[in-house]
Amino acid sequence: MPHPDHVIFYVSDPAASSAFYERQLGGPPVQSSPGFVLFALESGMQLGLWKLQAVEPAPRHGAGSAELALVVETDAEVDAWHARWRTDGLPVLQSPTRMGFGYTCVAADPDGHRLRVFSLSA
């Protein structure tokens, strides 16, 4: 049975989104062209950034309709991501808060995709 190993965000400007995610993920993409950028994450998952206007077939929804979740070990790491996002001027959609699954906060990338960082509940 196949297993999911790619997440693809539709973006307005792959180069700008690449620069954004290079900073957020701490490393450069493994593939880059004017219409598509690919990051290989430590978990084995890959994050693709595909130019919205080049997606075939055209999506029903535009950019900004997905969420990338980043798991960290501690609540303090969630707080550190929140502080970093505020310093970087990202729109914070949810300040650090405790939810049923753990401690989390959410920010948005330049296209409105959600970035959620969380530590699991003990």
Query: Residues of CATH 3.10.180.10 domain(s) within the chain?
Result: 66-122
CATH C-level class of 66-122: alpha beta
Mean of pLDDT values over 101-115: 92
CATH C-level class of 1-63: alpha beta
Residues β-bridged to residue 9: 49
Provide the residue type at 31 as one letter. Q
Using CB atoms within 10 Å of the CB of residue 64, give its burial: 0 to 12 exposed, 13 to 18 middle, 19+ buried.
middle
E strands, 41-78, where?
A: 46-51, 67-72
Is the pLDDT confidence value at 59 over 90? no
The first and second tokens of residue 73, run together, are 């070990």
pTM reported for the whole predicted model: 0.82
Query: Residues of CATH 3.30.720.120 domain(s) within the chain?
Result: 1-63
Q: 24-40 pLDDT, tens per residue?
A: 999 999 999 999 999 99
Distance CA 10, CA 1 (A): 26
Distance CA 104, CA 79 (A): 9
Mean of pLDDT values over 8-37: 95
